[in-house]
């Protein structure tokens, strides 16, 4: 069965939304995990995870821009 372009685009938008939500939830989980830790341990983990957190944040922002562009093209 071949999907029509509009259906395919909607599926893509849904997948992007799901990815954005997953990244956002992961980042929130990391913050919740780090918050109660002792400052020295929290700082060490932030140093270790900092680059990965930044990559995730950039990925989320990129996906959000793609989603906005797809929504704008739809109109």
Whole-model pTM? 0.82
Mean pLDDT computed over every residue of the chain: 92
How many angstroms separate the CA atoms of 45 and 62, rounded?
25
Give the model confidence (pLDDT) of 20-42 as tens digits: 999 999 999 999 999 999 999 99
% of the chain residues with pLDDT over 90: 80
The C-alpha atoms of residue 75 and residue 58 are separated, in whole angstroms, by 26
pLDDT band of residue 7 (cuts 50, 70, 90) is confident
Report the distance separating Cα 26 and Cα 61, nearest Å. Answer: 14
Task: Specify whether the CB–CB gap between 52 and 23 falls below 8 A.
Answer: no
């Amino acid at each position: 069965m071949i999907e029509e372009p509009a259906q395919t685009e909607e599926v893509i938008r849904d997948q992007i939304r799901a990815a954005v939500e997953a990244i956002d939830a992961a980042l929130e989980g990391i913050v919740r995990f780090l918050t109660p830790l002792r400052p020295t341990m929290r700082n060490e983990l932030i140093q270790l995870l900092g680059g990965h957190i930044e990559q995730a944040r950039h990925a989320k922002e990129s996906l959000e821009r793609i989603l906005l562009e797809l929504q704008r093209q739809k109109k």
